[in-house]
Amino acid sequence: MPSPPPHDSASGLFRILLAATTWGTIPVFLAMLTRVDALVVVFWRVAITGAAVLAVGAVTGGLGAFRGMPARKLGALALNGALLAFNWILFFSGLRLAGVAVGEILGYMAPVFVAALTPLVLRERFDRRVVLPLALALGGTVVILVSGMRGAHHGPNVTLGAVMAVGSSLTYSLLILNSKRLLRGVSTVTLMTAENVTASALLLPAALLLAGPTSSREWGALAVLALVHTVFTGFLFVSGLRRVRADHAAILTYAEPVSAVLFGALLLHQPVTAAIVVGGSAVVAGGVLVARMGTGYGQEAPQTDLQESGTPTG
């Protein structure tokens, strides 16, 4: 018999909100890395994260789970690592090309994609409640894209960035669905280790061939992206999720795109147009409606224990 959802605690809600708001500062640190290729940024993020998690696993004994693990489950873990790397490449590239507001908002369509794709991937019954949030999210996306095409700052790079941001949501939803289908019972340390080691191996050639960090400022930004925005917030999110309902946590994580837009406007001087506000509100409303449908459609963190997870990371 499934256990009842936890009652929300002030501590849990604060941890989820703090994690989501911290993810909202990712574009600020990414702006310090404009001379570093996006693939290299992702490599160092997963490499530093992987090293930190390996150290935790060595101390806690969490790496022992790999001994005797079936080949199918190992393959599923490796697939998650590939999806994670591709997701971050698309997300970071979308932020750079389309701007913080567009990149963050369109990157947060994953909950709606998960709800729409679940019947196809997991062969579950179609939930008609998905139609309204899907229409809201897609409508908001169209508003943002059409406005961008007519705006003074429009260019082919902006459109490409917006498409990449939507692609990051789609790859994230596939990551979530793969996790739900194949990776039940995998611990946080095991999952994070497999994902980040796989992603690091795939991106190593890019790190060797493309422009990388050269200054202490760039290395510091990379360290923050890995240790603060991935490791610290990942565990902070998990600890908060243990204390709150997963659907409530999913709603709170929308503090990420909201705070990212504010940080982008205040610190990076990026414009926030009326179309972004209207379209972004529709996308966020669609995600919130999905989150309120139940814990099964929350945008999960790939760094969480899959038996308890329900919402996203940056």
| Chain segment 63-90, per-residue pLDDT in tens | 888 888 888 888 888 998 999 999 999 9
Mean pLDDT of the chain: 81
- Tracing tokens 């059409």 back to the chain, one arrives at 146
- pLDDT tens-digit readout, 186-214: 777 888 888 899 999 999 999 999 999 99
Q: Does 304 reside within a domain?
A: no
Calculate mean pLDDT across residues 272-277: 82
Q: Report d(CA 283, CA 273) in Å as an integer.
A: 15
The alpha carbon dihedral of 112, 121, 253, 42 has a sign of: negative
Which domain does 240 fall in, by range? 10-297
Q: Does 127 reside within a domain?
A: yes
Calculate mean pLDDT across residues 24-44: 94
Measured at the CA of 261, the angle between CA 257 and CA 263, to 5 degrees, comes to 115
- Hey, how many other C-beta atoms are within 10 angstroms of the C-beta on 78? 17
Q: Decide: 303 and 234 in contact? Cβ < 8 Å.
A: yes
Q: Report d(CA 231, CA 45) in Å as an integer.
A: 10
Q: Report d(CA 314, CA 29) in Å as an integer.
A: 13
Count of domains observed in the chain: 1
What is the pTM (predicted TM-score) of this model?
Answer: 0.80
Q: Does 309 reside within a domain?
A: no
Q: Does 156 reside within a domain?
A: yes
- pLDDT tens-digit readout, 113-167: 877 777 777 676 767 777 787 788 778 877 877 766 555 455 567 888 888 999 9
From the number of C-beta atoms within 10 Å of its C-beta (0-12, 13-18, 19+), residue 253 rates as: buried
Q: Does 117 reside within a domain?
A: yes
Q: Does 314 reside within a domain?
A: no
Q: Does 303 reside within a domain?
A: no
- Give the length of the chain: 314
The alpha carbon dihedral of 255, 256, 257, 258 has a sign of: positive
Q: Does 3 reside within a domain?
A: no
Residue 149's pLDDT is: 56
Residue 301's pLDDT is: 42
